[in-house]
């Protein structure tokens, strides 16, 4: 994509951001995020809820990436003692665990919810390092088993493509617009192989948390991507089209994903409070 193309896409997203139906979705999303922000189970057990959210988000992304795994199976894999031996796992399990590692990475960068004045916020890495680190997480076990060549790890498809993704992050626009642009771009124009979708979703979750849209860090962003693949494929294909006709649909889908993610977060929080992990 040319630089002007990036500018046009962002302008169209901002125009769509002000349309009546998107404004209605924004209100729904804001209301939903407020509900989860003040959920009583997050007062003391927010760390547990965030940790379980990592597993759900990773399972959704694995399914979207074409390597489905159940949340219970992924949870079991993450709880095994000692380092994971790549040779004992299927390729799909290696991929899913790598995606989970990337979600855990994002969680370590989230501000704490305990609001203790003496607590220092997590230092944030340089953006290129963050993006590269997420891909290293995702491909860590795949590289160990030889499924992915080490020379391909954290190497973007092109410097220009990486520059476009980074510009979406740093652009002075609402956090949801920034996150949606990163999500769509990484899905439509793979930045890395494999795992570009998962990198984009992880960066989107990071944006939403560190910029305060979802300060809880417990809202999943990929449930709809996993459960409605035909719709998301159509939207991603439209985002990649020369006429940019799907800027509006990208925002509508991403906002809907956040609303669904809040429902997910509330279920996860209640399961943690009850001591019965959600299946």
C-alpha distances out from residue 93 to 218, 225, 272, Å: 23, 19, 25
Q: Determine the Cα–Cα distance for residues 139 and 97; give it in Å rounded to an integer.
A: 9
Within 10 Å of residue 275's Cβ, how many Cβ atoms? 6
Degrees (nearest 5) of the Cα angle 130, 160, 246? 90
Topology classification of domain 3-81+92-112+126-274: Fic-like fold (1.10.3290)
Give residue-wise pLDDT tens across range 153-190: 999 999 999 999 999 999 999 999 999 999 999 999 99
**In the chain, where the domains are located:** 3-81+92-112+126-274
pLDDT computed for residue 81 by the predictor: 46
Q: Are 74 and 62 in contact (CB under 8 A)?
A: yes
Q: Is the peptide bond before 179 cis (omega within 30 degrees of 0)?
A: no
Q: Which residues of the chain, if any, have pLDDT below 70?
A: 1-4, 81-86, 114-122, 244, 277-279
pLDDT computed for residue 5 by the predictor: 75
Residue 121's contacts (CB-CB under 8 Å, 6 or more residues apart) are 111, 112
pLDDT computed for residue 83 by the predictor: 56
């Amino acid at each position: 994509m040319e630089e002007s193309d990036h500018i046009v896409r962002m302008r169209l997203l901002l125009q769509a951001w002000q349309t009546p139906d998107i404004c209605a979705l924004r209100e729904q999303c804001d209301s939903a995020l407020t509900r989860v922000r003040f959920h009583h189970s997050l007062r003391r057990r927010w760390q547990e809820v965030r940790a379980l959210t990592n597993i759900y988000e990773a399972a959704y992304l694995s399914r979207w990436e074409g390597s489905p795994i159940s949340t219970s199976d992924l949870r079991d894999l993450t709880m095994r003692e000692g380092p994971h031996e790549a040779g004992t796992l299927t390729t799909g399990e290696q991929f899913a665990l790598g995606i989970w590692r990337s979600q855990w990475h994002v969680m370590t960068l989230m501000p704490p919810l305990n609001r203790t004045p003496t607590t220092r916020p997590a230092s944030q890495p340089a953006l290129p390092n963050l993006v590269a680190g997420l891909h290293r997480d995702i491909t860590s076990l795949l590289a160990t088993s030889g499924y992915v060549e080490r020379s391909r790890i954290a190497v973007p498809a092109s410097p220009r493509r990486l520059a476009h993704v980074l510009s979406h992050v740093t652009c002075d626009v609402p956090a949801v617009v920034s996150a949606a642009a990163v999500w769509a771009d990484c899905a439509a124009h793979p930045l890395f192989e494999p795992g570009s979708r998962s990198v984009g979703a992880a960066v989107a979750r990071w944006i939403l948390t560190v910029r305060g849209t979802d300060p809880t860090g417990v809202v999943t962003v990929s449930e709809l991507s996993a459960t409605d693949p035909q719709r998301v494929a159509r939207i991603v294909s439209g985002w990649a089209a020369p006429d940019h006709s799907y800027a509006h649909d990208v925002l509508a889908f991403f906002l809907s994903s956040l609303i669904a993610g809040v429902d997910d977060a509330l279920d996860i929080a209640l399961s943690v409070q009850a001591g019965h992990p959600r299946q």
